Amino acid sequence: MNVTGTWTRAEATSFLADATVPIRVACRTPEGGLWMLSLWFLPWDGSLWCATGADADVVRYLSHDDGVAFEVSTNDPPYRGVRGAGTTTVEADADKSLLRALFDRYLGGTDNRLADRLLDDDRDEVRIRIDPSRLYTWDFADRMRDA
């Protein structure tokens, strides 16, 4: 994987491990249009893992074209983050283990109404694995020191 920008690969990996903001994912629709969405993510073993309902539009889009661009960045100054490109794989998450891990990461557990709805036995869930081929990092801390 090609990593360029402000940070080393280790620093980019550390940022992704600590970031609890959604990943923004851009892909193509079967008609050739562009589509962007935000998903919770979990970095693991060099990949970025997301979960969504099996009937989500993005699942159909990624089955047509597995290429994506993505960004994980802070929402408040000083701005910093990681953007990149890669390919995806979509697979069933029958036991919803990834979704449970995402609830732990973002909300501290599954004791909430959103988890009740998304973890319902009648809802089919998938995992989206993003395998980055390129990462670009940036950190505006120095130039935004007084922001």
The string of pLDDT tens digits covering residues 2-20 is 888 999 999 999 999 999 9
100 in a domain, yes or no?
A: yes
Q: pLDDT at position 1, please? A: 77
Give this prediction's pTM.
0.93
Count CB atoms within 10 A of the CB of residue 80.
18
15 in a domain, yes or no?
A: yes
66 in a domain, yes or no?
A: yes
Long-range contact pairs involving 140-143 (C-beta distance under 8 Å, separation at least 24): 140/77, 140/78, 140/79, 140/80, 141/78, 141/80, 143/78
- CATH number, residue 77: 2.30.110.10
Q: Output the average pLDDT for the chain.
A: 94
Least reliable range by pLDDT among 2-16, 33-47, 132-146: 132-146
Residue 144 has pLDDT above 70, yes or no: no
141 in a domain, yes or no?
A: no
146 in a domain, yes or no?
A: no
For 40, residues 6+ apart whose C-beta sits below 8 A from its C-beta are 22, 23, 50, 51, 102, 105, 106
Q: How far is CA 59 from CA 29, 65, 66, 92, 102, in A?
A: 10, 10, 10, 11, 18
Q: How far is CA 129 from CA 33, 104, 113, 140, in A?
A: 22, 18, 26, 29
140 in a domain, yes or no?
A: no
- Counted domains in the chain: 1
The string of pLDDT tens digits covering residues 116-133 is 999 999 999 999 999 999
Q: Which residue range is the domain that position 42 belongs to?
A: 2-135
Q: What are the backbone angles phi and psi of residue 101, rounded to the nearest 5°?
A: -65, -35
